[in-house]
Structure formats: structure tokens, C-alpha cells
Amino acid sequence: MSNALVIAGETIGSRLWLGSSLYPSPQVMSEALQAAQPGFVTLSLRRQSAAQVQQQQQPDSHWSLLQSYVRDSGARLLPNTAGCYTAREAILLAQMARELFATDWIKLEVIGDDYSLQPHPLQLVEAARELIAQGFKVLPYCTDDLVLCRTLLELGCPAVMPWAAPIGTGKGLLNPWQLQTLRERLPDAVLVIDAGLGKPSQAMAALEMGFDAVLLNTAVARSQQPVAMAAAFRQAVDGGRQAYRAGLMCEQQQASPSTPVLGLPFWHQEGAL
């Protein structure tokens, strides 16, 4: 079993991916990225006027600063379409991101519900179909619905990113049975847990389950010590992947002794009964 993570023919350096919002300061974010060494760093590009975009392309802009932080960490920049509610909005925002950052990678988000921030499945599929036709490498944020994930993969998405729980809740793997079903029914697909993770142990559990990577933001950025938490998530992801590759033991209902009595003196065998 190869340990390399390959998506759309390109090797991604880490199975831990991070967001770039909510940090207490740009310096803390930079140090957290250095500690995590993520494979991707997402960037939310809000809808703006042409004048604002022009201003942000200056060397001292926010975008240039963020790109330098991402470059220093060794990660790839992954623009996303956060804040979009229709396929049309997401497509326009993706096109803008490609012009600004010279990348065909896009994290596709099309929200269908304000309360849960659940993706809109119909608008998501429509946007994915069009962006793939335009040459984008589309990584869609979706629910854990098997049919939706399969449809997105059949359209040409090189990976799908089902949620563990609603964005920012930190509730972890709310439906492990369904997530395990996704892994079993889509054995050759690249599956990335996106949203809802709150603890390093939850990220480790996702990797132990066989998911290829995890994407998170709030769990690191809103922790008391984001740099230390970023390092903790990195270790958890590495440990979870190592455990999955090693092969977890099968669960069983009946207890079995870890110390066998076969071959021991008879009085020891009687004492073990």
C-alpha cells in the first residue's frame, strides 16, 4: 500500500489540510502552517468589485502575504467558493480565483441551508459539471451521501470531501457507519473528511478508517494555542495513516485472553480457568 497521496496525477505532500481564517493574527497563522506542514491551505475568496480585486493584486496585499505563508509551509493554495448559494455564483468565483492565483485547483462549496451550512446537492453537481468542463480540478465539499459522492466522482472530480459534521461545530465523526460505508463502497476514490472535526483524535479516527486526508480550520485557529494544536493534528494524522496501513485488528464480541495457557504447567492452567 503506497503512502503517497496522489490526486489528479499530482502528489500532495501531506494528508492534513488547513484553512486560513479565524486565526488571532497573521503571525500565528504563519507559525501554525509551519507546524502543520499541510498539503493544502484553503482560501475563501469573497465576491468583490473589480477595483477591490485590482487592489489585492498589489505586492503588499493580503493575498500576496497569504501566498508567501503558504509557500513557506510547502503547501499548495486551494481557493474555495465559500459563501456561494448557486452554481452560477460558484462558477464565477472559481474563475476569479483562477485568474488571481494561477491555479486550476478549486474547493467547490455551494451552500443550501444557512443554519447547518449543508451543501446544496443539485447546485453542487451543476457547478462541478461546468467547472470540470472548464479544466478545473474540482474538490467538492459535500455530505456523506453515497449517491451524491458517486455522482461527483463520475462527473470527473478527482476527489470528494464529505463532512464529518456541520462546519465549525467540532462534533467529529457524527455518522461513522455512513462514512465507513463510503470508504467500503468507493474503495478506489480519494475521500477527504472536510468540516466538523474538533480534536486530533477525531482526525486520527478518520485516517484509521481509511480516509485519505482531513481538512479543518476552526479546531486549530480557535484553539488556545493554535501552533501547538496544529502540530498535534499533524501527529494524529500521521499516526492514523500509519495505523491504517499496519492493519487494525478485527473487532469481536467474545473476550479472548491475550496470554495463552497452552504449554504452561498444569497448575497455571487450572488457575486460569
Which grid cell is 83?
Answer: 459563501
CB burial readout 157-180, b (16+ within 10 A) else e: bbbbbbbbbbbbbbebbeeeeebe
Which grid cell is 109?
Answer: 462549496
The enclosing H or E element of 213 equals: strand 213-216
Which grid cell is 89?
Answer: 455564483
Report angle CA 179, 181, 185 to the nearest 5 degrees.
125
Is residue 32 part of an annotated ligand binding site?
Answer: no
Total count of residues recorded for the chain:
273
Is residue 218 part of an annotated ligand binding site?
Answer: yes
Helices 62-73 and 26-36 cross at an angle (nearest 10°) of 20
Residue type, 130: E
Is residue 196 part of an annotated ligand binding site?
Answer: yes
Catalytic position from the list 107, 137, 171, 199: 107
For residues 192 and 144, is the Cβ–Cβ distance under 8 A?
no
- For the question of residue 107 being annotated catalytic, the response is yes
Is residue 263 part of an annotated ligand binding site?
Answer: no
**Residue ranges of the binding site:** 168, 195-196, 217-218
- Give catalytic residues, as residue numbers: 107
**Residue ranges of the binding site for 1-deoxy-D-xylulose 5-phosphate:** 168, 195-196, 217-218
